[in-house]
Structure 1
Amino acid sequence: MSNDSKIPARMTVVAISEPGGPMVLKPEKRDVPVPGPGQILIRVRAAGVNRPDVLQRKGAYPPPPGASDLPGLEVAGEVAATGEAATRWRVGDRVCALTPGGGYAEYVLVHESNALPVPSGFTFTEAAAIPETFFTVWHNVFQRGALVKGETILVHGGSSGIGTTAIQLASAFGSYVVVTAGSAEKCNACLRLGADRAINYHEEDFVPAVREATGGRGADVILDMVGGDYVARNYQAAAVDGRIVQIATQAGAIASGDFSRLMVKRLTHTGSTLRPRSTEFKATIAAELEAKVWPLLEQRRIAPVMDMIYPLHEAWRAHERMEEGSHIGKIVLDVG
């Protein structure tokens, strides 16, 4: 193992003291972990905040077996140590990484294949806002949803971290992008990012709006994090041979729908969760991102939309911000 001689024995983390509201997030001291075979230890400079962190804090999203009990699914920082057979990175390299947990800490372990270089010119706080949403959008929109140039995508929650990423990537690869969002401010932010049509769902029914925006065809791909009554409405808004990809169910996991519409339109309704997937699976996404998306980041043709940055010890404020629902883009913790 090679390592930075300045690695301390103990580190500050933010842990979930008990299931509950934002104030259960409390700083504490823990031992700095040691990388195993194929792993790297990252000195965390910034950590992204995501909705699964909120669900975990509430006791509704336990970490997968073997993962850290700390929240935090994405980080950016420097490689502080490398484990046996970890050959890609050297101590001091600037990386951002998808983690199975443990990001709310000064140090975190990840498999070397789940890390990517910090794009040139990006700050650590910007880089920490990339992995979770870019891995999620790439897998669900382009792999599962099979979106191709010239097709229409409908993105629900367009102003979220996932939504702002999906808008930029779909637009960059030549798709027509329709989004839903909950205010005029959020709709305008989506349009500035490259959305072709933004629907304020408080003022407009997205089903006729999507049909009108697509000349009656409907959306080829629908990225949905809402669930509930959106399921049946997505079937109405989808084009023939449309693909609906479910990545969350914020309005409820139980829904009823007209399945004759699914049959007549030959729809595909699929979904996924990323966190429990294997290290090897995530490595395949990382490789595709590095080949196809990293050049766009390097040219700054796309970039994560930054909402607010909080210090690590104020992670509770970041969670409050996320639960308020007024954020546009990514919320990040500055670990220092």
Structure 2
Amino acid sequence: MHAIVIREPGDADVLEWKPVPDPEPRPGEVLVEVAASAVNRADVMQRRGFYPPPDDAPPYPGLEVSGRIAGLGEGVPGPAVGDEVCALLSGGGYAERVAVPASQVLPVPRGVDVVEAAGLPEVACTVWSNVFMLAGLREGETLLVHGGGSGIGTFAIQLAKACGARVVTTVGSPEKAERCRELGADVTVNYREDDFVESGPYDVVLDLVGAKYLQRNVEALATGGRLMVIGLQGGAKAELDIGMLLRKRALVHATTLRARPLEEKAEIVAGVREHVWPLLESGRIRTVVDRRIPMAEASRAHELMEESGHVGKILLTV
């Protein structure tokens, strides 16, 4: 098969579409014939050499795919060969085939195109596990989503609104603000012009920026607020005001999804299937795709991701 190989850590041009060995499903795994993958910030970090895959994962980038089941490992009762699925991966999605634990496979939601489904597993699992399983966002509470135009942002806005929350999001342009309002955001804050703290307080903050926003995120929390840190785009080190946390009885929780044990990922995927998939199938929330690009041109997709002009997911098609 072919896969995107990282020739060496560096800029987008180090990504190469090359022949590689075919994967074989181990016990408990299924083999997926890939229709599409999706670009995530973690892929960019891996390409630069800052986010290596776990030891048991393929070396190729790609944390999610969609496609059809091509084979079953030992002890897998389902899904069946030929079923259309999407899957959460630890790596290896930028390829024509990938083996993945059966517990991380989801059926393509009814009414969703199999290619567009490639952009669902990572965002759905990230938002569900952080905003709902860990932060416990409730109906009537206010969620602040940083980066509302991202894949995570566009999904978090919709899911929080579907669950009865008020949503505020930060954006970098009037065009992204308009798109986020169309998805249900109650308030958009252009971070180039305004301070998101002034639109608070927030019961839950979903943050992919990291150190640059830490102090202001804590300032913006309501009493009993929960700050969920899922990224480092704004740096990794900052001072934390413990006194302010104590006064607000607030929580700061940092998580990653890729390196979690299989049992935790299986629990998250099961929760997504039970709670999120019905909302997709009913049309209350939808996939947001910026564009589709042939997987062999992954370097162009990475350049677009780093320019940050996209809204929603950038898909790589096989």
TM-score scaled by length of structure 1: 0.93
- The Cα of 1:115 is off from its aligned counterpart by 0.3
User: Does 1:195 pair with 2:178?
Assistant: no
Q: What CA distance in whole angstroms lies between the structure 2 residues aligned with 1:99 and 1:181?
A: 28
Deviation at 1:224, TM superposition (A): 0.6
In the alignment, structure 1 residue 243 sits paired with structure 2 residue 229: no
- The alpha-carbon deviation at position 229 of structure 1 amounts to 3.0
The answer on 1:271 being equivalent to 2:254 is yes
Could you tell me how far apart the structure 1 residues matched to 2:283 and 2:64 are?
20
Specify the code of the residue in structure 1 equivalent to 2:216.
R
Letter in 2 for 1:309: R
Q: Which residue of 2 aligns with 1:159?
A: 149
Give the AA of the match of 1:88.
Answer: G
Who is 1:126 aligned against? 116
- The letter for the 2-side match of 1:135 is C
**SS across alignment from 1:128:** helix
**Identity over aligned residues, as a percent?**
52
In the TM superposition, what is the alpha-carbon distance from 1:20 to its structure 2 partner? 0.4
The count of corresponding residues between Structure 1 and Structure 2 is 318
Per-residue deviation at 1:77? 0.3
| Equivalent in the alignment of 1:43 | 33
Residue 289 of structure 2 is matched in structure 1 by: 306
* Contact kept in structure 2, 1:49 and 1:331, CA below 8 Å: yes
State the Cα distance separating 1:144 from its structure 2 match.
1.3
Q: What SS does structure 2 have at the residue aligned with 1:185?
A: helix
CA distance in 2, matches of 1:17, 1:301: 42
* Per-residue deviation, residues 219-253 of structure 1 (Å, max 9, x unmatched): 00000111223111011111000000000021111
1:74-133 CA-to-partner distances (Å, cap 9, x unmatched) read: 000000000110112110000000011000000000011100000112112210000001
CA distance in 2, matches of 1:56, 1:258: 31
In structure 2, list runs of 5 or more residues that go unmatched: none
Query: Which of structures 1 and 2 has the bigger CA Rg?
Result: 1
CA shift, 1:300, in A, is: 1.8
CA RMSD of aligned residues (A): 0.8
CA shift digits 1:173-217 (9 cap, x unpaired): 00000111111111111111011111111111111122xxxxxxx
TM-score by length of 2: 0.98
Conserved? CA contact 1:140–1:271, under 8 Å: no
Tell me what 1:19 maps to. 9
SS in 2 for 1:62: coil
Taking the aligned partners of 1:277 and 1:117, their CA distance within structure 2 comes to 22
Answering whether residue 50 of structure 2 is matched by residue 60 of structure 1, we say yes
Q: 2:242 matched to which residue of 1?
A: 259
| Preserved CA contact (<8 Å) 2:67 2:115 | no
Deviations 1:261-288 (A, max 9, x none): 1110111001100000112211111111
Whether contact under 8 Å (2:12, 2:302) holds in the other structure is yes
Q: Aligned partners of 2:299, 2:31: CA distance in 1, in Å?
A: 25
1:100-119 residue pairs with structure 2 within 5 A? 100-119=90-109
Partner of 1:202, secondary structure, is coil
